[in-house]
Structure 1
Amino acid sequence: MIRLGHDPSPTPELPVLTGASTVLARSGEGPWPRYRIVALADLGGGELLAAFDGRETGQDVPDPTGLVQRRSLDGGLTWEGFETLRDVDRAGRHWYCDPSIVVDEAAGRVHVFHTHAKDRGVWDAAAGTDDADRDVMGSAVSTSTDGGRTWTHRSVTAIAAPPALIRTAFPTSGTGLRLRQGPRAGRLVQPYAGWFLAGAGADTGTTDGEVTTDGESAADGAGEVVRSYVLWSDDHGETWHRGEPVGEDMDETTIVELSDGRILLNSRDHARGGHRRIALSSDGGETWEDRGIDEQFVDPGNNAQLARRFPEAQPGDPRAQELLFTNSRDPYARRLGTLSRSLDDGATWEPVGLFEPGNLDYSVVQPLGGGAIGILWEVEAREIRFTRLEAEDLPGE
């Protein structure tokens, strides 16, 4: 069971984790002046793909922003140069940001969800599904069949944010899931944060990838609620469907598949109360059980990442219950980048060590095989850093 209501223990003195480390981007170097917002995926055979924002300034859209990537062919020991994931249209002022990678090994596809902005960002974007409307902040997914060397792009704005329910939304950066257990094995799942209109109707069914609603809409000025949900696909990303939302003040969200096939959702607290919020799904992200605040997760209101350390481990294997989590483990400030571990499917957590003793923003952790893990994180729009940690680099191994 996922337990709640723990009084957080005093943060112990944690060891600093050291591994094979690389700075993947630095302010003032490469194709953009600054870099933020990280995504990381293992494509298999030692090939890793890291994606992040290139920014004209350190600020969010609508400041000029595009998507770049770097690639490793040896499990993160060395990295190739910058590649363009999605180029910008500077003349037309079309900007792309917030990458999240979903790897579909069975189909040989890589999907990258991201935001499409023009003249407005999340705080003042207008409701709507027309990507030509300069006041609408939309969503897109880029798909590659050659390991991210070439991409095709398409909009999912109408699916992700129907205006009867949601003013605006964006995919949470980092990684999504391919489910491996149970009747929905093979499903692709991407987490979202949405600004839901107060009083908006609940979701109903889906047809041909389009999401329908009951048609009820909010009164103007009735307020908004930030909630988490996912988009999911059972046909390798050909069509996407929107699951029901969960919680209140559920901001940027990370998800992980548990050993029994359920999905654990762990969300940044939009109210910034010093901890994180969680929920569980037993139907592949279509509906959720809100579990509220979990005080085990000390956090200032920052994006974080969950992952299974051994995603191929089968139910009954103790390794199937080992989860990893990276975040800035401080209730007030974005500092103390901490790797935490659960050995019981997320019921209890223990901090393992610091991968970043100083300041940091978003982070991503991914398994690399053989017990090794990779962590990618950003430091104040100045640097994007990566470290590969072998099993022997982790305390208690």
Structure 2
Amino acid sequence: DNGMTWSNEQVVWDDAKNTCGNPCPVVDEETGRIWLFMSWNNGKDKESDIINKTSLSSRLPYVCYSDDDGKTWSKPASLEETCRDPSWGWYATGPGIGIQVKKGSYKGRLVIPANHSYDDPQGNLAGGPYGYGAHVIYSDDHGKSWQISESIKPGCNESQVTELSDGTLLMNMRSYNNKQARAISYSTDGGQNWSEIEHDFQLVESLCQAAVLNFGEVDGQGVHLFLNPAVPHGRDHLTLKVSLDDCRSWSNSKLVYEGPAAYSCITRLPNGRVGLFFEAGEKRPYEKMIFVSFDWNEIFLTGTIVP
């Protein structure tokens, strides 16, 4: 009912003390199937151990699906053989959402943003010669098979992908390049190959995940939305930005939550309202989860979304 009420929590995947996380769903609008990508690692391993390849096990991508709108889920299946370079250390899907390409020769392709750590002689990640990179997982046969793109690097991870009006894909990434801004890369072949990274200094960030969404048309105008803690340091002042020109400029911003806030997700609800789901709190950004929806026009009014 457009986020007014919610069912009880249910467990999609539980593997005792091992880590099952970084969920990243996408809906195949041609079949109705929801694909849910996740990452797994031995619960005794820390991220630094996995990056340095001294961990008990590798960090691996998995996928499961639901054909009944999320009520039940298939058993997660490993994608290690086809969607992980064996030289990588860390691996993470999302977090956030994937997309299905709507235009051009790659129409129908499912695209899942992901990231990894890689060998980098010039790098200094987790005290070793490693760096962070981003990539996508994609399928052209409705999930029967999956493959990975080339890496986007240096210094990029936790990514979200969106489709521009001409079918170009834009990857928006957390950046470790000391720019206090989001890293950007483009693909004109459905996500297989990516341009050199650049930074969008309109999108200030402080090393945190962010959300971006092609919201579709409003009054005949294509709209993209971007949400993150819009500060150069710390995690607070969660702010929604609007682009009306394929993410080239961000012409309006709206403070969503002034206090501590971190990871987030955006959706367009069936009734056309904007839906936001994010971490927030009074003293720390991880005290609670907040879902809020509002009419599109509220973006241009004064005041915060969440008082």
TM-score, normalised by the number of residues in structure 2 = 0.88
Q: Tell whether the 8 Å contact from 1:306 to 1:323 is kept in structure 2 after alignment.
A: yes
The residue aligned with 1:287 is: 193
1:139 aligns with 2:61: yes
1:391 aligns with 2:296: yes
Q: Tell whether the 8 Å contact from 1:189 to 1:233 is kept in structure 2 after alignment.
A: yes
Structure number with the bigger relative contact order (C-alpha 8 A, sep ≥ 6) is: 1
1:258 aligns with 2:159: no
The residue aligned with 1:123 is: 48
> 2:182 and 2:138 mapped to 1: Cα distance?
23
1:75 aligns with 2:31: no
Amino acid at match of 1:124: D
The residue aligned with 1:86 is: 13
Listed one character per residue, the Cα deviations across residues 89-137 of structure 1 (whole Å, up to 9, x for unaligned) are 2xxx322111111111211211111111112133211688xxxx94212
1:350 aligns with 2:242: no
Q: Tell whether the 8 Å contact from 1:263 to 1:285 is kept in structure 2 after alignment.
A: yes
> 2:208 and 2:158 mapped to 1: Cα distance?
8
2:109 to 163, 184, 187: 187
RMSD between superposed Cα atoms in Å: 2.2
Map 1:113-262 onto structure 2 (within 5 A). 113-118=37-42, 119-125=44-50, 134-152=56-74, 153-164=76-87, 166-198=88-120, 223-262=129-168
Divergent runs of 4+, >6 A:
none
Map 1:261-272 onto structure 2 (within 5 A). 261-272=167-178
Listed one character per residue, the Cα deviations across residues 245-274 of structure 1 (whole Å, up to 9, x for unaligned) are 112111111110111111111111124531
Identity %: 28
> 1:168 and 1:82 mapped to 2: Cα distance?
28
Map 1:29-44 onto structure 2 (within 5 A). none
Q: Tell whether the 8 Å contact from 2:102 to 2:167 is kept in structure 1 after alignment.
A: yes
Q: 1:222 to 1:334 in 2, by over 3 A?
A: closer
SS in 2 for 1:247: coil
Q: Tell whether the 8 Å contact from 1:231 to 1:242 is kept in structure 2 after alignment.
A: yes
> 1:149 and 1:141 mapped to 2: Cα distance?
16
The residue aligned with 1:36 is: none
Q: Tell whether the 8 Å contact from 1:364 to 1:376 is kept in structure 2 after alignment.
A: yes
Map 1:92-111 onto structure 2 (within 5 A). 93-111=17-35
SS in 1 for 2:30: helix
Structure number with bigger Rg: 1
1:335 to 210, 214, 236: 236
Q: Tell whether the 8 Å contact from 1:122 to 1:169 is kept in structure 2 after alignment.
A: no
1:308 to 182, 198, 214: 214
Q: Tell whether the 8 Å contact from 2:2 to 2:270 is kept in structure 1 after alignment.
A: no
1:222 shift after superposition: 7.7
> 1:259 and 1:322 mapped to 2: Cα distance?
10
Listed one character per residue, the Cα deviations across residues 134-191 of structure 1 (whole Å, up to 9, x for unaligned) are 4212111111111111111101123332223x12211121101011000111100001
Amino acid at match of 1:358: G
Amino acid at match of 1:97: G
SS in 1 for 2:15: coil
The residue aligned with 2:305 is: none
> 1:274 and 1:356 mapped to 2: Cα distance?
20
1:378 aligns with 2:283: no
> 2:178 and 2:67 mapped to 1: Cα distance?
39
> 1:332 and 1:232 mapped to 2: Cα distance?
33
Q: How many residues align?
A: 290
Structure 1 unaligned segments of length 5 or more: list them. Answer: 1-73, 200-220
Listed one character per residue, the Cα deviations across residues 10-65 of structure 1 (whole Å, up to 9, x for unaligned) are xxxxxxxxxxxxxxxxxxxxxxxxxxxxxxxxxxxxxxxxxxxxxxxxxxxxxxxx
> 2:6 and 2:64 mapped to 1: Cα distance?
22
Q: 1:282 to 1:95 in 2, by over 3 A?
A: same
1:228 shift after superposition: 1.0
TM-score, normalised by the number of residues in structure 1 = 0.69
> 2:193 and 2:164 mapped to 1: Cα distance?
16
Structure 2 unaligned segments of length 5 or more: list them. Answer: 122-126, 303-307
The residue aligned with 1:31 is: none
> 1:126 and 1:342 mapped to 2: Cα distance?
36
SS in 2 for 1:105: coil
SS in 2 for 1:303: coil
